Structure 1
Amino acid sequence: MADRRAEHLFRFVSCMELREALGKRALDEQRLLEIIEEAPVDSIYYHTHSYYLRHPYAQRLFPNDFATWVALHAQDRVLGEKLGILDPFAFEGIEQLRTEIVTIVTDHLRRLGTVPRCLTGEPFEFVRSHVIDVPLEVTAATLREFRDALTGIEVGAVYNHLCEARLRKGHLRGDFAFWIAAEDGLRMAELAGQVEHVGHCGLSLEAMRGRIIDLCDRALAGENSAER
């Protein structure tokens, strides 16, 4: 299997994020909630999903901008922890994620006697993003080629194939797992399932890359042992 060549090459594609400030800001959690309710989906996306692209090495306690701001600047650690456990990639779409965020913040504010305000002088600035594909001249036809290419490609490609593909392109398994399992790909269903699971572990992008490389190494080592 290690030498099995896919009929369809895997082509690595990176991405670039273009950012646009919306001119909307919040100085307290009530205003934060109001803007979250009306902000364009590209803004919700920027402050949740693309947090991982902006922090590829970090595996933080508050892994989205909303959780980070309420915890650090409004000093509301309870709400920060509630928002921090959200996995944005577990939702079928951004509107579903928005609804969950609104529900969490609304329920939290109802339980408080006062509305927590920014105590550091740094308001929450709403931004939207547009993600553009950047094709790379890197392809793979075998598992070994895929594994070796994955070690060196830029982190934007890891994000594009693991995260962006699932949310905006409708490839719910992610591009890596889809190709590994596909009939015109590597036809390795078990490995594909393991790779798909990596995207649901709440890891940083670099940790995801490392985990997938390790899975490939194990698959290659197992095949080499079987051939002896």
Structure 2
Amino acid sequence: MTFITFEGPEGAGKSTQVKALAKALKKAGRDVTTTREPGGAPGAEALRSLLLDKDNHWSPTAETLLMNAARDTHIRHTIAPALSRGEVVLCDRFCDSTEAYQIGADEALIAQLREKVVERMPDLTLLFDLPVEVGLSRANERGAADRFEARGLDFHQAVRERFLAIAAREPSRVVRIDANQPQEDVEKEVRAAVNARLPGLL
């Protein structure tokens, strides 16, 4: 069926918008699977705990390998079966996050692993973009920061720039959403993007 991913820096409100779009799709009569990365399957959730734990210190290469190990399990156990059943899959983060966050890893390695692991790219990727300071402030309000959230401002600015570079490179797949506005307005922008790129889905 249809595969939609939600991407963006910390505090962009992706999880909220996954829930809102899932509700709208179900109202339209669609069967929906919502999932997340890293995670989304038992083995992948175990790797998520390792990756987000601030007491662990992974190199960019190790992060990239672990992320793709989790993704392989996630695709095989959750995403591919749901798509084969004709469902709409909404995923909070996917391979674009690896490219954006694993700063310092070999770019050729990231590309090679994506080619090997990702059998199907998303039909639509919604990139929730907002100023880094705003996103980190929102993330801090949620409580204790995970290993990625705890990194410095320069790191998160680089992450945002890398996301925007992906959007510029793949405009047919990636739609930038202004996440620095009220939640209701973000939701309207999401629906407009879905209607424009995937007419009839809603």
TM-score, normalised on structure 1?
0.24
TM-score, normalised on structure 2?
0.26
- When Rg is computed on C-alpha atoms for both structures, the one with the higher figure is 1
